[in-house]
A and B are shown apart, each in its own frame.
Chain A
Amino acid sequence: MTDTEEQLVVDFPLRKPGEVFPPPRYEEYRHREGLVLSYLPDGKPVWLVTRHAAVREILTSKKISSNPDRPGFPNIGETMGVPRQDQIPGWFVGLDPPEHDRFRKALIPEFTVRRIRDMRPQIQDVVTRVVDGLLADGNRSADLINDFALPIPSLVISALLGVPKADREFFESRTRTLVNIRQSTDAQRDLASRELLRYINRLLEIKAKWPGDDLPSRLLQGGVLAPQELTGVLLLLLIAGHETTANNIGLGIVTLLENPQWIGDDRVVEELLRLHSVADLVSLRVAVEDVEICGQVIKAGEGIVPLVAAANHDDGVFACPHMFNPERSAKQHVAFGYGVHQCLGQNLVRVEMELAYRTLFERIPGLSLAAGPDGLPFKYDGVLHGLHELPVRW
């Protein structure tokens, strides 16, 4: 920071009703030297990071931790999204190397580019059945969040976890209750999360006795992770891969309806991930040692919030960042984070998004928003950017 510029202190960037996303404030923060200081809802100071290079630096620094049990780790609020599950062993997104490595190494064979490519027919099958469901009642209208975007990732994760077909409805309804903070109460979400945990434990017992050709069976047989760790791993996969994917699918549909010339072109996927950056407040960190980023010394124990939506709209990396331009090279985006925690499910998401858009617009070509884009109910009350509902007709 230069002497002439004073430290900028700002409100914590919770999304506000009526404000576009990412908020124009991010641009202002990015053009300041140094970092921006903010205060969390609990009053603790936290550094906001908005530049693309600085976000990547934070997410790869060995002096910075992902562990929520460390003092100073940013707590962005009780009401934000899913219940905190830090106590569950196997919640490895909150572990640092070297503990994190054991989990990550055990899981990556399940998410390779080739493995996901082999899953394409299964994913297509899920998408096809969900679209069949949209068309079945003859109403020619639907809410594409609840009837399309949420069921797809949930059913895909069910398939990945080897959940028997007969149980997928149960699984889907409980995960939906967990995610849908507007249509469910705290008590309902609490119950749903306990039911899911119980279900996952039972599933692991069944897979231990009667192994199948699925992720839990292979991990049990691999023996690297203990069964109680696998409970946390499966829950993490379920939660990490559900609302994130659904929000992206939903927001992407709106963007494609506004830019119909791009419908049918698979290049849209990477650009939609960049543009919408739904996981803006996901990668939270705390400094373990003093570390200098952008000329600012972050002291050990101070919280850090790398804002991936700000980084993905950094005009030094992405020209005219607010424009939807699938022809640009969007791959440098950090929508899946960066560093050792970079999203494990990213290759799965890419296929889900591609097949979801292709199938939806092929089968329902006359799709349009039931109301104007201005009235869409954006989420302001959770961690992730997205829509509560997406009413359409055809």
Chain B
Amino acid sequence: MRITVTTGTCVGAGQCVLSAPDVFDQDDNGVVEVLDAEPGPAQAEQVRLAGQLCPSGSIAVTE
């Protein structure tokens, strides 16, 4: 599983941080920051949820 984010379109809702706190964070500007771009299977479900919940479509998850 691989995560790519588009920081330019991020609207800082924080849904990813709430869904997968070990994988996503927000930087000082409130913009998405990936802590682990290739998370293991234990995180897979949370990461998929983060991708679905992101309101601005800034998170792409490839399996």
| Interface residues, chain A, with chain B CB atoms under 8 Å away | 59-60, 104-105, 108-114, 331-332, 336-340, 342-344, 346-347
Question: How far apart are the CA atoms of A112 and B15 in the complex, in Å?
Answer: 10
Question: How far apart are the CA atoms of A382 and B57 in the complex, in Å?
Answer: 32
B53 touches A331 (CB 8 A): yes
Q: Chain A: interface secondary structure? A: helix
A347 touches B52 (CB 8 A): no
The 6 A-B pairs at the shortest CB distance, nearest first, are namely: A108-B12, A108-B30, A342-B55, A109-B30, A113-B14, A113-B17
Q: Name 6 interchain pairs, CB-CB below 8 A, sorted by A.
A: A104-B11, A104-B12, A109-B29, A111-B14, A112-B12, A336-B13
A112 touches B26 (CB 8 A): yes
Chain A contacts of B17 at CB under 8 A?
112-114
B53 touches A113 (CB 8 A): no
Known contacts A342-B11, A346-B13, A112 near B30 by CB under 8 Å: yes
- Per-position 1/0 for B24-37, Cβ under 8 A of A: 00101111000000
- How many positions in chain B have a CB within 8 Å of any CB in the partner chain? 19
Chain A contacts of B11 at CB under 8 A?
104, 108, 340, 342
| Interface residues, chain B, with chain A CB atoms under 8 Å away | 11-15, 17-19, 26, 28-31, 49, 52-53, 55-57
A230 to chain B, nearest CB (A): 18
Chain A contacts of B57 at CB under 8 A?
60
Question: How far apart are the CA atoms of A357 and B11 in the complex, in Å?
Answer: 29
Tell me how many residue pairs across A and B have CB atoms closer than 8 Å.
Answer: 59
Question: How far apart are the CA atoms of A302 and B26 in the complex, in Å?
Answer: 37
Question: How far apart are the CA atoms of A76 and B17 in the complex, in Å?
Answer: 36
Question: How far apart are the CA atoms of A346 and B55 in the complex, in Å?
Answer: 12
Chain A contacts of B55 at CB under 8 A?
59-60, 337-340, 342
B53 touches A114 (CB 8 A): no
Chain B contacts of A343 at CB under 8 A?
13
B18 touches A105 (CB 8 A): no
Nearest neighbor of A343 in chain B, beta-carbon distance? B13
Question: How far apart are the CA atoms of A108 and B56 in the complex, in Å?
Answer: 14
Question: How far apart are the CA atoms of A321 and B19 in the complex, in Å?
Answer: 22
A50 to chain B, nearest CB (A): 19
Known contacts A331-B19, A331-B49, A111 near B56 by CB under 8 Å: no
Question: How far apart are the CA atoms of A324 and B53 in the complex, in Å?
Answer: 21
Question: How far apart are the CA atoms of A235 and B45 in the complex, in Å?
Answer: 39
- Given contacts A108-B11, A108-B31, 5 further A-B pairs with CB under 8 A are A112-B30, A113-B14, A113-B26, A114-B17, A340-B55
Question: How far apart are the CA atoms of A111 and B57 in the complex, in Å?
Answer: 19
B29 touches A339 (CB 8 A): no
Chain B contacts of A59 at CB under 8 A?
55
Chain B contacts of A331 at CB under 8 A?
15, 19, 49, 53
B14 touches A339 (CB 8 A): no
Nearest neighbor of A337 in chain B, beta-carbon distance? B55
* Most chain B CB within a 10 A radius of its CB, from A60, A108, A111, A114: A108
Nearest neighbor of B10 in chain A, beta-carbon distance? A108
Question: How far apart are the CA atoms of A346 and B13 in the complex, in Å?
Answer: 8
Chain B contacts of A344 at CB under 8 A?
12-13
B5 to chain A, nearest CB (A): 15
Question: How far apart are the CA atoms of A344 and B10 in the complex, in Å?
Answer: 12
Chain B contacts of A347 at CB under 8 A?
14, 18
Question: How far apart are the CA atoms of A104 and B29 in the complex, in Å?
Answer: 11
Chain B contacts of A336 at CB under 8 A?
13
Chain A contacts of B14 at CB under 8 A?
111-113, 346-347
B40 to chain A, nearest CB (A): 22
Nearest neighbor of A101 in chain B, beta-carbon distance? B11
